[in-house]
Amino acid sequence: MIVSESFSEQGIAAYQDEFEEVGFFRNENNTGPVVRIYAFRTQVKDPEVLKTFADLLPHTKYGRTLVFFVNESVLGPVELSPKSPYFPASQKSAVIAKYEKTPMGEQQLELVNP
């Protein structure tokens, strides 16, 4: 049953047509907490789908994962920063939602410009 459940779960590949990665940052420090920041272009606005997709992204224990979902107005790559606000202010109006997985594994999705 465990093997059956493992292979029947949807993976990140199930969402490849709905989300396009336009930005990624990972800190170089392997001795401290790992910080991963993603930006994905999407037309999806359903909070459950956004959260389910973000939950599938890599996360390191005691690390932090941030995901920015942006609309179709963002055409090129996004330059993400390791420090707050992480996302360029010039493109902030394109952010649909922000997801965060904290060092303790708590997950939060915030709709910004739905």
Report which of 52, 47, 66 is spatially closest to residue 114, judged by C-alpha positions.
47
Answer whether residue 12 is part of any domain.
no
pLDDT tens digits for range 35-88: 999 999 999 999 999 999 999 998 888 889 999 999 998 988 999 998 888 988
Q: Tell me the percentage of the chain whose pLDDT exceeds 90.
A: 54
Higher pLDDT, 99 or 89: 99
pLDDT at 75: 87
Answer whether residue 56 is part of any domain.
yes
Distances (CA, A) of 68 to 1, 10, 43, 55: 35, 21, 13, 13
pLDDT at 26: 93
Domain that holds residue 89: 18-111
pLDDT at 12: 66
Number of domains in the chain: 1
pLDDT at 9: 53
- CB count within 10 Å of CB 22 equals 19
**Which of helix, strand or coil describes residue 93?**
helix
